[in-house]
Structure 1
Amino acid sequence: MNEYILSLKADKTKFAFKFLLFVWLCSVPFKNSIYQISTILLLVFCIWHFVYYKNYFILKENFKKTKILSFFVGLIILSMFLSNLLNLELLTKDSWKNTLSFIYRYAFVFIALAYFYSLKFFSKKEIIFMLLFGTMILALNGIFEAVLDPKIITASVGLTGPLNNRNAMGLMMSASVVFSLFILRKNLLFGFILLAIYGFCMIFSFSRSGWVASGVAFLIFLALNFKKFDKRFFIAAILFIVALVLIYLNVDSFQTRFNQLLEGYSSYRTELWKYALSQIINQPFFGHGNSVWRSLDLPPDIALHTGVHNSTIEILLFTGIFGLIVWISAVLVVFFEILKSKNFIYLPLLTYFIVITQFDFSVFDSKELFSYVSMFLFLVYSDKFKESFCKH
C-alpha cells in the first residue's frame, strides 16, 4: 500500500487522473452535480493530456482495435440524428440534449478510459474497486434507512437511499451484485460479504427488474464457473437460498412483490408497450425522434408514466427499424468479442444490461445505467489496450 501511495506521489499526472476517475465513479449512482462536473473534467483532462503529449498514435491504435464496435456506435448516433431531423415538430428540449449527451457521456468516456489504460494509468482491479466503493456508500445509506424506519421494508415502500425512487436504488444495487461477481471469482469471503450487503438492499428495494436481471446474470455466472468453485461456495449459496426462503415466509411485503413477479403482474407495463407498438407503425423506419415520449398523443392513463419501460420497443419508437438493427448489431459485436477473447466473466454483465432494460430504464437518457455500460464495454475490450505506445 505504501509503495502504491509513493508511486502516485511520484507521478502527479497519474494521481490527478485517478482522483477524477474515483470521483466520477463514486458519483455515478447519485447522478448529481458532482457527476456532471466530474464527467466533464475527466474528458477535459483526457483532451489536455492527449494534446500536450501528442499521443495521436494511441487513439489511432485504439480505434483500429475497436473499429467494428466504433462503426456500429457511430450508426447508433447517426440513427438518433436522423430520427430527430425527420421529426422536428415532435422534438422536446431533451431530444438534442440526450443525443449529444450520449456522445460525450458514453462514447467519449469509453475513449478516455481506453486511452489512459493504454498508458497504464490504472488497472481493471482499481476501476472495479472505485465503482463498488461508490455503490457501497449508497448501500450503507440504504441499510441505515432500513434501521431507522423498518416500515419502509414491511410496508412495501422499498429502500431508496438518497435516490428518488426504489427502482433507481434497485438498479444500483443489482448492478453492484453483478459487478461483485468479479470479486467473488477471486476472493470467496469478500465476494459473499459484498453480495450480502448489495443483495439485502436490492431485495428490499422491491425492484423486480433488478431481481430478475441480477438473478439471470448470477445463473449464467454459476453455469460458467460451476467446476471452479469448491464446497465452501456451494455451502454459502445454500445458506443464501435458505435466507431468501426465510425472508419470503416472514416478510409479507417481500412475499407480495415476489408473488406479483411470479404471476406476471406488469405494473402497467403491458399497456405502455401496447400503446408504443401502436405508434411505431406511424414512423417505422427511422422512428419519431429521440426522447419524444411526451410529444406523442398520450392517453391520460399512459401520460402518467415517464417512458416505455422496454428498450427494444423504445428504440423502435424513437429511432425505428434502422435504429433497432444497429443497436442489435452493436450488442452482437460485443457478444462475439467476449466469445473470441474467452473473457466469459463479462457474459453475466452483458445479460444483466439486456434483461434490465427490457423492463426499466431508457437506453437514451439513463445516465447511471449507461455510465456503467461504458465501463463494461471498456472492460470487454481492455485487453486490446494493454500496450503502452508512448511516454506520458
Structure 2
Amino acid sequence: MSTGILDNNVPVSDAFLPPQPVVQSPAQYPYLYPELQPPVYQEALPAKIVLPTLPQIMLSSSETQTDSVVAPASSLSDRRVANRYSLNDFVFQHTLGTGSFGRVHLVQSKHNLRFYAVKVLAKEKVVRLKQVEHTNSERGLLGSCKHPFLVNLWGTFQDANNLFMVMDFVAGGELFTLIRKSVRFPPAVAKFYAAEVAVALEYLHGLDIIYRDLKPENILIGQDGHIKLTDFGFAKRVKDQTYTLCGTPDYLAPESVDWYAWGVLIYEMLAGYPPFYTKGADPASLYKKIIEGRVRYPQGFDAGAYDLVQNCLTADLSKRYGNLHRGSVEIFRHPWFSEVEWDLLLSKEIPAPYIPDLKGEGDSSQFETYAENDTSEYGAKGRDEYADLFRDFD
C-alpha cells in the first residue's frame, strides 16, 4: 500500500508506516537556513545489491599510521601514544573552536610542515568543573584507538597551566554545518554518513568503549569527504552498563546507548531537525519527551529509514536495535543498507557524496571564525599545583 505521509511513490508495507503520524513543518524551526545554497552531491552509493557481512568491520588500517589494528581489545587497551611534543614544535595559527574549558587551534608542525588540530585545556577550569576523570579518559581512550573514521591522537604535552592534545586537522568542518546548509539530506547521502558512523561505533564497541556523545557537531568531514568522529570527553570503557547522565539532551537516550543517538542522527539528517525538538523547551521537558518515546515524522520521510530509526529509538531495551541478543547485526543487515558493501566502505572505496571546497591542506574556511586568545601565554613555567592529576599528558 502507499500513503501520503511518505509521499515518494514507493509502495511500503504497514510495518514501515508510523502510527497516527503528525506532520511537522521545517518552517517551525528557525535555526534552519533554507536561503543557503545546498551543496552539490555526487553519487552516494554503488548500485550493486549485496547482503551485508561483517568480517572486516572490527579490523582496520589507517592511511596516516603504519601498523594495522588487528589486535584484540584487551591488548589495545594498554596502548599509549608514544610521540612526545612541545610547544616549540608548532606554529600556532587561529582558533577552530571553543568550549567550556579550552579551545582548539590550527597549528603547523615546524618539522614536517603538516597541519594539526591542538586542543588546549585550562587545568584550573578542568579541575573546577570536575572534568579531570573525563579529560584523562579522553586522552587514554583516544590514544588506544586507531581507525579510519576516528580522529588520531598523535601526542600530548602540558605546561604549568594547560594541557595540549595534538590531533588530526579534519579540514571539511562539522557535519552539523553541512546539515544546516543543506536543510536536509537526500536518503542516499544520509545513508552514506550513517553507514560510516555505524562502522566507527562498531569498532569502539568491540573495544568495550561507548562513545556517549554522538551528534553532528562531533562528526567531522575530511578533505576526502569521509567522516571522522572527534571529542571523546564523554567516552567510557565499560564491560556492562554505565549510568552517568551526560552528553547532549537531543541525543540522550533513556539509557546511554550509542545506537539510540545514531538513530537520532539519521532522523536529523533526513528531516533537518532532531526528533524531539520543541522551540523553547527546557531540558526537563525534553527528557520527558525522550522517555515517552513518541517520534513524529515529517512528510516525505524515507520509508526504509523509518523502520530503522523506529527500531533504534524505541524506549524498550528488549526491542531496541543494538541491544538485542545478536548485538548490532540487525543494524548492519537492515534492508536500508542492502546496497552497502561494508568492506569497500571501510577502505574508503565508496566515493563520498560531498567533497569540501578547500584551497589547500591548511584551509580552515569550513570552520566558524572565533575571537582569538593570547597564545603567548602558552608554555608557562613555574609551580604546577595540578601536576599529579595529569601525569599521562607528559
Length-normalised TM-score, structure 1: 0.25
More strand by share: 2
* Higher helix residue share: 1
